Amino acid sequence: MTSFILLGILVVAALYSIGLYNHLVNVKHAVAKAWANIDVLLKQRHDELPKLVEACKQYKQFEQETLQKVIAARSQVHAARESQDIAALGQAEGALRAGLGSIFAVAEAYPELKANENFMQLQNRITSLENGIADRRELYNDSVNINNVQIEVFPASVVAKLFEFGAKPLLEFATEEKSDVDMKQLFN
């Protein structure tokens, strides 16, 4: 009788451990899926930015320094995205968003550029992608939070350590993105 009870306890413990393992695998893949969703939008925006820069370059007097900042930030985002360096991506995203904000603000001083249909379509497309990236970033951070909590709570932490499930980094905002925008600087 005690051997049946002991065997029953072992079977229940094994089934529970398998269930925890499967849950942790699902959580890990949810993080990967959330990252892949961000990656798709970053790639799309990466492809649109040169078109925006070219549209602005058509206006010879357009501020070259602003365009250079966007080009440099685009390269940093691309490098961070390719290496999946979440911390570097957060910083590069901040620089890119600031650069885009500058382009859109400076464009206000160029009525011909603002009237350019190509520029307006690119501006709308990039703004739409920015909103999508923000939404996906929130989903990614939620998935990472769930992952990180699940690998720390008992008894899942035992299974997580046994099978080397690790914590994932949050996609954090750059300091510039959290601070107020200096509107005077954008228009100078």
Which pLDDT value is given to residue 179? 47
Nearest Cα neighbor of 31 from 146, 135, 130, 129 is 146
Based on its alpha-carbon atoms, the radius of gyration of the chain, rounded to whole angstroms, reads 23
Handedness of CA 54, 56, 59, 64 (dihedral sign): negative
Amino acid at 37: N
Which pLDDT value is given to residue 9? 93
Other CB atoms within 10 A of residue 29 CB: 12
Q: How many CA atoms lie within 13 A of 4 on its CB side?
A: 1
**Structure-token match 């390719």, residue found:** 82
Averaged over successive runs of 10 residues, the pLDDT of the chain (188 residues) comes to 90 93 96 93 90 79 80 91 88 87 83 81 90 92 95 92 93 60 47
pTM: 0.76
Q: Which two tokens stand for residue 154?
A: 């008992």
Which pLDDT value is given to residue 33? 95
Tell me yes or no: is domain 2-186 CATH 1.20.1440.20.
yes
Which pLDDT value is given to residue 109? 79
Task: Specify whether the CB–CB gap between 168 and 139 falls below 8 A.
Answer: no
| Element (DSSP H or E) covering residue 122 | helix 117-150
Which pLDDT value is given to residue 117? 83
